[in-house]
Structure 1
């Protein structure tokens, strides 16, 4: 079978996925800036999504590259597919084939599934691992592993296509999805 076409677009959840709040100030999550830079280098259009108000979303996204567009608020609440479709239309995506949504939010991931996108769940920022940095660090290694395992199972039970711990593993995950696409698999 021939090579799958390049990824059409990658959508990201904003809170927890690309940005975390630390001491009330937003910070990029580990691996977020590298993942975005790599996708931009490959000329893959990207956008973040969140249900926050536009001003709240822009405030959080202020730590992300200026070139990265975002979409805050939503007339149809998640898990309706509309937010994903509107984001893809904003990016002028020509097709759904090759579009990916990355998030730890089960409702946003369900929205991506409902929209017909490939989905990548982030276990470390899912509700099962929703701990402040201090709480997370205070947990034993075993407790953190149990939380990640629980999150992984919950995300797979939604029907997501892949689950990774954090964005630092996104390149490997996207390579796996590209391989699956080459074999003819569809989301």
Structure 2
């Protein structure tokens, strides 16, 4: 019988950092520091899930951002400019990432249940290795210790939305069949990563980038506001191709059980 061998987890917004706050705020700060250029948090979130250099480049190509950039500087954002923003971004991100290393409520319990079923815990991130080398031990202090992790700049072929980080997990974990893996992610590029790697995919809605609020900000919303934000996040992730969408990784066990049942029938993603 086919059975789930591994889950491959994103980090910010999926396991740690409710609302995926750490990277987005730093993008805003980095552009302000490097070029005195303003972007909104909503704009900073649009390319979320990509490797951070690619994120900055894609951000500069967003029509409204590009138009403001050209009005302010007289030309488009070049790769040299992206390099400089990235150099500004990196120390800011490294200084902040450990502050957002605490696992989201209920996540560790879910992972313990999965491990108890013999399922391996893989992970990958849009963060580069020098950031991950700070985040990984900080999260370990809270009890999150995945069986492997892959950074966005570990793979020569590139990062999301390509499949390579997820497939590197497959190699490191010794997985026999990619259809026995589930990719969990709160961003569209991360869902595409799992799909192109041949895996089942589960979107993370409320705790992730699609809602984009801290836990306290989420709790401060009215029930009507929460309903609207949740529906929008679910729609975004299903449109990206997710097989299932859940509020949080803490709520993921029923989705895993459904996928396990599909594999028992020899169904593939």
TM-score (norm 2): 0.63
SS of the residue 1:70 aligns to: coil
Q: CA deviation at 1:86?
A: 0.9
- Among 146, 149, 153, the alignment partner of 1:70 is 149
Flag the structure with higher strand content: 1
Rate the CA distance shift 1:67–1:13 in 2: closer, same or farther, 3 A. Answer: closer
Greater shift after overlay, 64-73 or 136-145? 64-73
Q: CA deviation at 1:73?
A: 2.0
Rate the CA distance shift 1:10–1:113 in 2: closer, same or farther, 3 A. Answer: same
Runs of 4 or more above 6 Å deviation: none
What is the number of residues matched between the two proteins?
184
CA–CA distance in structure 2, aligned partners of residues 67 and 173 of structure 1: 20
- For 2:133, the equivalent position in structure 1 comes to 58
Mark the runs of 5 or more structure 1 residues left unpaired by the alignment: none
CA–CA distance in structure 2, aligned partners of residues 66 and 13 of structure 1: 13
Q: CA RMSD in A?
A: 2.0
Greater shift after overlay, 15-24 or 162-171? 15-24
Q: CA deviation at 1:128?
A: 2.6
CA–CA distance in structure 2, aligned partners of residues 114 and 25 of structure 1: 29
- Select the structure of larger CA radius of gyration: 2
Deviations 1:79-133 (A, max 9, x none): 1111111111111112112111011121111111111100000111343311123
TM-score (norm 1): 0.89
Map 1:1-187 → 2, pairs under 5 A: 4-20=1-17, 24-61=99-136, 62-64=138-140, 65-66=144-145, 68-74=147-153, 75=155, 76-187=158-269
Rate the CA distance shift 1:25–1:186 in 2: closer, same or farther, 3 A. Answer: closer
Mark the runs of 5 or more structure 2 residues left unpaired by the alignment: 22-95
Q: CA deviation at 1:162?
A: 0.5
